[in-house]
Amino acid sequence: MTERIVLAYSGGLDTSVAIGWIGEATGAEVIAVAVDVGQGGESLETIRQRALGCGAVEAYVADASDEFANEYCMPTLKANGLYQGHYPLVSAISRPVIVKHLVKAAREFGATTVAHGCTGKGNDQVRFEVGIQTLGPDLKCIAPVRDLALTRDKAIAFAEEKGLPIETTKKNPYSIDQNVWGRAVETGYLEDIWNGPTKDIYDYTATPEFPPAPDEVIISFEAGIPVAIDGVKVTPLQAIKELNRRAGAQGVGRIDVVEDRLVGIKSREIYEAPGAMALITAHKHLEDITVEREQARFKATVGQRWSELVYDGQWFSPLKRSLEAFIEDTQKYVSGDIRMTLHGGQAVVNGRRSDTSLYDFNLATYDTGDTFDQSQAKGFIELWGMSAKVASGRDIRVAGK
Ligand code: ARG
């Protein structure tokens, strides 16, 4: 029987050419797998037809946008997942969901190998292949750009020679990856890290310099998950989309960073994640009133480690699962409403209310109604400083000798 290979297919030039390229190089039949993670653009049906037109023997298409929002974006929100404090893990969290569908398709169509369009320099090859190794340990991996010398120029020549139903003339100087959680743009002009991003780079956000009138929004959460916007019930996917629209119109969520790739390269990336950044901001402020101090401090560390694992392609790892058990436990009381103003590139929280809040007005107030016994503070401070005071006494004693 002819060998079969499932290919992660985007519908773009490189993966369209990869279908025939892999076929010629290996003699295998190629099955294209297209997964909708809310990236917008062409319909799955259009993409399926193109895959078949480019020589795929079968096309597997899946609308995974709700799955992606529920099982990938929401855990990221609960963790306040920001790699290096900036990047909301847009591409990093989309790879594992695509991997799930690749493995499913491989089983369905009896494939032995999984192919993807990544280069050998980035994080995504690692995320795909570590994921495949974990979910389908018997499956092999191949990356035509990395392993079969499929360069851009060769791709264009191949498409023209074979008359593939794909545009080869459209010149996009950037490498772009996008889904409902955000958008990542790199390469070209941006590789000089002194160059500021030009306007044409952005798509999810309007320029924050000339914003429309401020937009006030109330986001309601239950156990760390957004459940309503301005009182209207929403699914996680709807919440992200609605905030992409409203926060995007105000230019919220533009990020320009040089980040540390897993492979040891520092690279410049422009992100726009209006919905994700508005949600993370709101969620963090709700945690501020509902999560106990020590839990909250420790959770910040856990969230950072979680983000590193996810960035580094360890989505299916045991440590990530264990950290999630902790994070999940902290979310039990993260319920309530956050009011925020979206304006001029900022999402600023200005009101919060929760039935499970730890904010105690009578403890906090400097006005009448104060129930805090200030006389207790003196003794507390004495003991709190004791250990350092004893040590400093020792330092003085030793220095004096
Ligand atoms: N640097 C980001 C990451 O590794 C995004 C990579 C996405 N690719 C792109 N073509 N911009 O998660």
Atom of ligand 1 nearest to the CA of 122: 4
Nearest to 180 by CA among 205, 201, 199, 204: 204
Report the nearest-CA residue for atom 1 of ligand 1. Answer: 269
171 pLDDT band, cuts 50/70/90, is confident
Nearest to 305 by CA among 287, 324, 288, 329: 324
Active site residues: 14, 95, 124, 175
Q: What is the per-residue pLDDT across 196-235, written as a single tens digit (0 to 9) for each?
A: 999 999 999 999 999 999 999 999 999 999 999 999 999 9
Question: Which of 10, 269, 270 is the pocket-test mutation for ligand 1 (most atoms within 8 Å of CB)?
Answer: 269
Amino acid at site 57? V
pLDDT score, position 339: 99
Please name the helix (run of DSSP H) or strand (run of DSSP E) that holds residue 114, with its range, or none.
strand 113-115
**Cα 170 to middle of ligand 1, angstroms:** 21
CA distance 366 to 350: 21
The DSSP call for residue 337 is: E
Per-residue pLDDT at 273 exceeds 90:
yes
Q: Which stretches of 148-194 are DSSP H helices?
A: 152-162
Q: Could you tell me which residues come within 8 angstroms of residue 65 by beta carbon, excluding any fewer than 6 positions away? A: 36, 37, 38, 180, 237
Report the nearest-CA residue for atom 4 of ligand 1. Answer: 123
Q: Which CATH number fits domain 4-172: 3.40.190.10, 3.40.50.620, 3.30.450.20, 1.20.140.10?
A: 3.40.50.620
70 pLDDT band, cuts 50/70/90, is very high
Per-residue pLDDT at 41 exceeds 80:
yes
173 pLDDT band, cuts 50/70/90, is confident
Question: Which of 37, 82, 118, 123 is the pocket-test mutation for ligand 1 (most atoms within 8 Å of CB)?
Answer: 123
**Cα 128 to middle of ligand 1, angstroms:** 13
Mapped onto helix, strand or coil, the DSSP state of residue 326 is: helix
**Cα 387 to middle of ligand 1, angstroms:** 47
400 pLDDT band, cuts 50/70/90, is confident
Q: Could you tell me which residues come within 8 angstroms of residue 125 by beta carbon, excluding any fewer than 6 positions away? A: 116, 118, 119, 143, 146
pLDDT score, position 172: 81
Question: Which of 91, 125, 267 is the pocket-test mutation for ligand 1 (most atoms within 8 Å of CB)?
Answer: 91
Atom of ligand 1 nearest to the CA of 123: 4
Atom of ligand 1 nearest to the CA of 174: 10
Question: Does the fold of domain 176-291+333-353 match that of domain 4-172?
Answer: no
**Cα 264 to middle of ligand 1, angstroms:** 14
Per-residue pLDDT at 91 exceeds 80:
yes
**Cα 188 to middle of ligand 1, angstroms:** 14
Q: What is the per-residue pLDDT across 290-315, written as a single tens digit (0 to 9) for each?
A: 999 999 999 999 999 999 999 999 99
**Cα 91 to middle of ligand 1, angstroms:** 6
Residue 155 has φ and ψ, to the nearest 5°, of: -65, -45
Per-residue pLDDT at 169 exceeds 90:
no
Report whether 32 contacts 174 (CB < 8 A).
Answer: no
Report the nearest-CA residue for atom 2 of ligand 1. Answer: 91
pTM over 0.85: yes
Report the nearest-CA residue for atom 8 of ligand 1. Answer: 177
Atom of ligand 1 nearest to the CA of 184: 11
The DSSP call for residue 197 is: P
Radius of gyration for the alpha carbons in the chain, expressed in angstroms and rounded: 25
Q: What is the per-residue pLDDT across 127-139, written as a single tens digit (0 to 9) for each?
A: 999 999 999 999 9
Edge-to-edge strand order for the sheet containing 215-222?
232-233, 225-229, 215-222, 336-343, 346-353
Per-residue pLDDT at 170 exceeds 80:
no
Give ligand 1 pocket residues (Cβ under 6 A): 91-92, 123, 175-177, 184-186, 269
- Top CATH class, 176-291+333-353: alpha beta
Mapped onto helix, strand or coil, the DSSP state of residue 392 is: helix
Question: Which of 15, 124, 189, 270 is the pocket-test mutation for ligand 1 (most atoms within 8 Å of CB)?
Answer: 124
Atom of ligand 1 nearest to the CA of 92: 12
**Cα 177 to middle of ligand 1, angstroms:** 7
* Boundaries of every domain in the chain: 4-172, 176-291+333-353, 372-399
Q: What is the per-residue pLDDT across 95-127, written as a single tens digit (0 to 9) for each?
A: 999 999 999 999 999 999 999 999 999 999 999
